[in-house]
Amino acid sequence: MSLQEKKTSPDNRQQGNVPPIFVVGVWRSGTTLLYTLLNQHPDIRLFYEGDLPVLWPMYHVPWSRKTWVEKWEYWNAGVSRHDLDPARLTDPVNSLAEAYEMAGMEYARQKGATVWGCKSPSYYNRLVTLAREFPKARFIVIWRDPEEICSSAIRAAASGLWFRRPGMTHKALLASETLRRQCKRLRSMGVSFHQIYYRDLVNDTEKTMRGICEFLNVPFTPAVTVLNKADRSAVFPGAHHSLAKSNKIVSRKEPVGPLPPGLADKILRYKALWKAKVGDEWLLCQRFTEVGETKPGIWERTTDQLWYLALRVWDSAPQVCFSLLPTSVWHLYRKIKYKDPEWVHAQLTNKPSTLRNDSRETQPCLHSPKAPTEKRLSSPELQTHAKTE
């Protein structure tokens, strides 16, 4: 495999400078399953889509930086979902790295773990940025066939709000190429990363997890190969997590219906393009069993990239706005839109919010008639951070 894989010595785990682990993949590629398994290692504790790095602008303005814990909680219940005590996150911070390391080390301390990290598909286009923020960070990248990803995303739309957005399958397809380019840049920077394939994880879990443990320089334990004792308390609700929340790893392919003809043909064309461009240098290309006879033409690639760019801007805009505007503005926005400022929190977790006076308001809004299910689809900022996989 040409994409470089390096290991980080345990000597790097110095007090106050613990290198994190980032588990990354395109949506519906198996990151939740990998998170669930890896989080059972006694030395490791990962955030479940903590996504604090997507709020990076708030660390560049003093009024947001001072309230980063409050904003993180109001964004995606990141504090309460992980049972963090805000009182232990009060030290002043000057950067994203300082804030996330403080939270990560506290989260690991609760379990008695020595290594912290986060799994999130939101990082597919920001591996290089994370590597610069955390110079000794290690990355685990999981790949899955784009046809399976798109099929899974279509099924996930039945219970996952974010997957109902226009262009989801288009973005999922092209995001694989973005992630490949990010890995290529990590290689040029000499950054530590390890790659696995989804089918290897479910079909030969022990071998795959042994390889990951070796990469992370932690002892292998059988606990990382089973799901029966897994803690999923931080995972967002939704039927599309049923496999990862079950007590066994499903090794067979999920029953799928045919993809829309246009999408199926497009996937085959892009497989042909990628195979011709990088060949077996890309782990994903190594595992293709079928590629198209033709590649996408210049016009198709150009229009696809423009649409992909628009979709990424649509994702990023709420993150930037949320980072820069005071929490009180979003509190008012949600109060007007949902008739309950804590309605978003209730969609993400059953745990009480850590914000002042929220524990009184959160539980009743779980079944609030003022916020019908249909209204969930109209909120870009909810759909952006409430994505699951």
Q: What is the pLDDT of residues 266-324, one digit of tens each?
A: 999 999 999 999 999 999 999 998 888 899 999 999 999 999 999 999 999 999 999 99
- Name which of 177, 169, 99 is nearest 143 in CA terms: 177
Question: Residues 42-84: pLDDT tens digits?
Answer: 999 999 999 999 999 999 988 888 999 999 999 999 999 999 9
Separation of CA 94 from chain center: 24
Domains of the chain listed by start with CATH number: 10-257 (3.40.50.300), 326-383 (no CATH)
Nearest alpha carbon to residue 60 among 110, 106, 95: 95
Report how far residue 347's alpha carbon sits from residue 349's, in angstroms, rounded to the nearest whole number.
6
Give yes or no for a contact between 340 and 368, defined as CB atoms under 8 angstroms apart. yes
Both tokens of 333, joined, read 């926005």
Edge-to-edge order in the sheet of strand 138-143 = 44-48, 115-119, 21-25, 138-143, 192-197
Both structure tokens of 194 = 């390890």
Q: Is 23 helix (H, G, I), strand (E, B) or coil?
A: strand
What are the strands, taking DSSP E only, across the chain?
A: 21-25, 44-48, 115-119, 138-143, 192-197
pLDDT, one tens digit for every residue, the chain (389 residues): 333 344 444 444 444 567 899 999 999 999 999 999 999 999 999 999 999 999 999 999 888 889 999 999 999 999 999 999 999 999 999 999 999 999 999 999 999 999 999 999 999 999 999 999 999 999 999 999 999 999 988 888 877 677 888 889 999 999 999 999 999 999 999 998 999 999 999 999 999 999 999 999 999 999 999 988 888 888 887 655 566 667 777 754 554 567 888 999 999 999 999 999 999 999 999 999 888 889 999 999 999 999 999 999 999 999 999 999 999 999 999 999 989 899 889 888 999 999 875 433 333 333 333 333 333 333 334 444 444 34
**Alpha-carbon distance values, 290 to 45, 93, 186, 280 (Å):** 38, 50, 28, 14
What is the chain's Cα-based Rg?
A: 20
| pLDDT tens-place string over residues 211-223 | 999 999 999 999 9
Neighbours of 212 (CB within 10 A): 22
Q: Token pair for residue 116?
A: 């912290």
CA 389/CA 14 separation, integer angstroms: 33
